[in-house]
Amino acid sequence: MSSIAATSELTLSHHVDAPRERVYAAFTDPDIVAAWFGPVGFSVPRESVDIDARVGGHQRLMMVSDEDPEMRSPVDATYTEVVENELLVGTEDAPEFPGLQEATTITMRIAFSDEDGGTRLEIHQAPVSAQMAEMGRAGWESSFAKLDRTLAG
């Protein structure tokens, strides 16, 4: 089975109607992360979330399918750059997905900036295969709906 090289990238931008500090906390506070992270149809058990938001620290959690709890997707990233309320950059070793990509290290960059009384999120992940970028875009957009609901309360 051949692999498609991980040569694409995923870039997303999303406005959140909440202050930048609150949006940043939604990515770094384990209680808030567990309330929204992951696409619709997946939950993150609070006990699976461990975050140490500093250079050399980590983000670890487990996304679990609501329909089939045996279907799980772990996140185990290491922070390489952290600027409180402004920037989170981390890397994660992604396994090889049959037919999609070779095992690789993916970098994710999340920037937070003030915008129209709320926060502009800029998310960039690379390298990923074109198909993984497509799936990632759908997953993030679904997750943003959960994030917006969580921060609206």
Residue 6 in tokens: 């991980």
Name, in order, each residue with C-beta under 8 angstroms of 151's C-beta and a sequence gap of 6 or more: 16, 17, 18, 22, 23, 26
Structure confidence at residue 74 (pLDDT): 92
Structure confidence at residue 103 (pLDDT): 67
- The architecture in CATH of the region 8-152 reads 2-Layer Sandwich (3.30)
Structure confidence at residue 104 (pLDDT): 79
Structure confidence at residue 139 (pLDDT): 93
Angle 110-57-88 (CA atoms, 0-180°, nearest 5)? 10
The Cα 2–Cα 106 span in angstroms is 20
Structure confidence at residue 153 (pLDDT): 67
Structure confidence at residue 7 (pLDDT): 63
The Cα 22–Cα 59 span in angstroms is 18
Chunk the chain into consecutive blocks of 10 residues (it has 153) and report each block's average pLDDT, rounded to whole numbers.
58 97 98 97 97 98 96 95 98 66 83 97 91 90 96 85
Structure confidence at residue 93 (pLDDT): 86
Maximum Cα–Cα distance across the chain: 50
- Domain ranges within the chain, ordered by starting residue: 8-152
